[in-house]
Amino acid sequence: MAKQTWKPGNMLYPLPAVMVSAADREGNQNIITVAWTGTVCTNPPMLYISVRPERYSYRMIRETKEFVVNLTTEKLARATDWCGVKSGRDGDKWKEMKLTPEKAKKLQYAPLIKESPVNIECRVVEIKELGSHHMFLAEVVAVHVDEAYMKENGKFELNDTGLLAYSHGTYLGLGRKIGTFGYSVVKKKKTGRPEKRKNSGKVKTKGR
């Protein structure tokens, strides 16, 4: 199979399309859609987002060192796109998209988006000015999950929420399940039927 060689660029897809909520010290709130995001550490739990300095939310995050990553779903696809192409300088994204800000538990300024099934409160620990984007490296200080997706056994069914992904300019649903973590090394159970015992022809009788 022939392949073309392109100049260096970002082709690591798919990515989560998340709505990041932030606020300044005066109480002005905004939502920005981010795809440049990901997990960087398990213990302590840490993630990052990369934002262009000219974006309206950039100053808020840099000023307060806070933001909330709100996972998005297929139902939130239009709001996700809108908050990515529109600027908070020109209007109120919360009102336009009928989204509801909620008070965070650990953060002082940045709000949660109520309609998101998962809200991840983050506190910035380092800012790296990389070039076109500045990376906010942050520690996760609280996670909120929608009880509607909790099972009776206490398991949170994240994949039932209809999560949204972003790939090469397109929003996608996650699609069908392929396997679970570690399925490739799990030994398959034998499915053959147990052998039947041959009948000796003798008639069993009760005690003498």
What does the block give as tokens for 110?
A: 């940045």
- Contacts by 24-27, CB closer than 8 A, 24 or more apart: 24/59, 24/60, 24/63, 24/64, 24/109, 25/63, 25/64, 25/109, 27/109
At 16 the three-state DSSP class reads strand
What does the block give as tokens for 8?
A: 């260096």
At 39 the three-state DSSP class reads strand
Q: What is the DSSP letter of 78?
A: H
Q: How far apart are CA 158 and CA 187, in angstroms?
A: 26
Q: How far apart are CA 206 and CA 208, in angstroms?
A: 7
102 burial type by CB count under 10 A (0-12 exposed, 13-18 middle, 19+ buried) = middle
* pTM recorded for the entire structure: 0.88
pLDDT in tens, the chain (208 residues): 899 999 999 999 999 999 999 999 999 999 999 999 999 999 999 999 999 999 999 999 999 999 999 999 999 999 999 999 999 999 999 999 999 999 999 999 999 999 999 999 999 999 999 999 999 999 999 999 999 999 989 999 999 999 999 999 999 999 888 999 999 998 776 665 555 555 544 444 444 3
Q: What are phi and psi for residue 32, nearest 5 degrees?
A: -130, 135
- Identity of the residue numbered 80: T
